Amino acid sequence: MKDNWRDGNEVKLLINGEEFFPSVFECIRNAKEEILLETFIVYEDEIGNQLQQELIAAAQRGVSIDITVDDYGTWDLSQEFTDALTAAGVRLHIFDPQPKLWGVRLNIFRRLHRKLAVIDRHIAFVGGINFSADHLISSGEKAKQDYAVKVRGPVVADIHQTCMLLLLRASSRKERSKYIQTARAAEPPVAGEVRALMVERDNGAHSRDIERQYLLAARLAQQRLIIANAYFFPGYRLLRELRRAAQRNVEVILILQGQPDMAWVTALSRLLYNYLLRSGVKIYEYCQRPLHGKVALMDDKWATVGSSNLDPLSLSLNLEANVFIDNEAFNQQLYEHFNQLVNNHCKKLNIKTALRGLWWRAPIIFLSFHFLRKFPTIMGWLPAHTHELKLVTPSKDFTDSEKNHITQTAGESIEVTNAIFKNKQGYEKYSFAKNKSLNESYKKKGLSKESIS
């Protein structure tokens, strides 16, 4: 398969929510024609509420907006939150909606895990950052360390096409006709000197594309290969190539979770440590906070940023997206950042540490290796559901006056605060613009209000 590398791009690295959210919100604020957004998670917190208000304001300006969220990751948005969006004209799609069994989400496999945004077909964002406040360092010790890129240039056309193809494949016939005209966007003009490649992973023709890029990097590396990944439990082929690279004196460094958000995932990763360390692979655990990034670099030009973990879910089941970059300056910036993490916030693992408890872990490691070798085949036996999007519509009790009121007040202020409103249904989190008219309308409805931080 020939890769569609694009020349003439500008790619900017964004580290954590402090750099990502202001940039993407500014682009939404300046959008004139179209916004396409895909994400795994939207929470009703300070970030989710601001996203809601920015999208409502953009829709009021006549911008066409399609936002697609995953049913498993974004499972608890309130009716008020979605009503406010859809009433303003935002098309909100739920990927693969499934009923819960006794309140439990069972649709964990084949999720929409990628995080993409395309603004006016000229600017795109790709990475691993969800729209939630736990990507802000200020949110506390559980804040996630994560990455994204802001992209301009010809490769944006490929990112736009990826978003449009999901809407075309998964929407109903009636909805599909709306997207056919814009499925192939005109190629944006040259914006820089960066060579870039958009790669997606799906359950069709692109099922191995992201893994193939990592395998190529491991095989072609001559000096160094550094991988920082949140959930590391890759297939046997990639493990073998990492060992081979280290054995031919390539500096292979893995930066993995030391303060995990899911302890069982790190426990699985540690089963592989002895196998890799014995071949000269260097392993560091990032201990400052949970690592959520999915980034890597090879030698002095190749790098990648995206949504794909190196685990069975991302490599064999989920819809993922990474941008691969061929540029010395970007590679060097990421290399310097990795050095800072390793020197200041990481703990280096050694053989002695990896051998602790080996006697009882050896059978598990043996079974894990064989599981990893056969996992893609095993998943192929399972029925692959077709992609389905559910278009959210305003609830029946959402009156025309409320629709008009929200669209009128959304543009008055983008500064959003949180409140808890107590009504017949109990407590529901809701966001509102800071202005007298909106506050007065809730007083007339007899709703009580409590401030929350």
Q: Which residues contact 397 (CB under 8 A, 6 or more apart)?
A: none
Residue 346 is assigned to a structural domain of this protein: yes
Task: Specify whether 191 is located in the same domain as 222.
Answer: no
The CATH number for 283's domain is 3.30.870.10
For residues 449 and 267, give the distance between their C-alpha atoms in angstroms, rounded to a whole number.
44
List the chain residues with pLDDT less than 70. 1, 103-107, 184-185, 260-268, 353-362, 364-366, 368-370, 372-387, 396-453
For residues 405 and 92, give the distance between their C-alpha atoms in angstroms, rounded to a whole number.
20
Q: What are the counts of helices (DSSP H) followed by strands (DSSP E) for the chain?
A: 15, 19
DSSP-based three-state secondary structure for 68: strand
Task: Specify whether 26 is located in the same domain as 89.
Answer: yes
Task: Specify whether 187 is located in the same domain as 218.
Answer: no
Task: Specify whether 195 is located in the same domain as 222.
Answer: no
Inter-residue contact 432 to 80 (CB < 8 Å): no
Amino acid (one-letter) located at 35: I
Task: Specify whether 51 is located in the same domain as 192.
Answer: yes
Residue 1 is assigned to a structural domain of this protein: no
CA 84 to chain centre: 24
Task: Specify whether 144 is located in the same domain as 225.
Answer: no
Residue 19 is assigned to a structural domain of this protein: yes
Domain of residue 339 covers 209-381
Residue 401 is assigned to a structural domain of this protein: no
Half-sphere exposure (Cβ direction) of 354: Cα atoms closer than 13 Å: 21
Task: Specify whether 108 is located in the same domain as 153.
Answer: yes
Residue 402 is assigned to a structural domain of this protein: no
Task: Specify whether 258 is located in the same domain as 190.
Answer: no
Residue 293 is assigned to a structural domain of this protein: yes
Residue 341 is assigned to a structural domain of this protein: yes
Q: Which residues contact 314 (CB under 8 A, 6 or more apart)?
A: 113, 201, 210, 231, 294, 307, 308, 320
Task: Specify whether 95 is located in the same domain as 51.
Answer: yes
The burial class, CB within 10 Å (0-12 / 13-18 / 19+), for 331 is buried
Inter-residue contact 370 to 364 (CB < 8 Å): no
Task: Specify whether 196 is located in the same domain as 96.
Answer: yes
DSSP-based three-state secondary structure for 35: strand
Q: Cα–Cα–Cα angle for 136, 141, 146, nearest 5°? A: 45
Nearest-CA neighbor of 91 among 115, 58, 123, 121? 58
- pLDDT, tens digit (0-9, with 9 covering 90-100), for 195-209: 999 999 998 889 999
Task: Specify whether 189 is located in the same domain as 42.
Answer: yes
- pLDDT, tens digit (0-9, with 9 covering 90-100), for 294-333: 999 999 999 999 999 999 889 988 999 999 999 999 999 9
Quote the number of domains for the chain. Answer: 3
Task: Specify whether 312 is located in the same domain as 341.
Answer: yes
Catalytic residues: 113, 115, 120, 292, 294, 299
> Which of 381, 401, 423 corresponds to the end of one domain?
381
> In the numeric block, which tokens belong to residue 199?
């790669």
Residue 403 is assigned to a structural domain of this protein: no
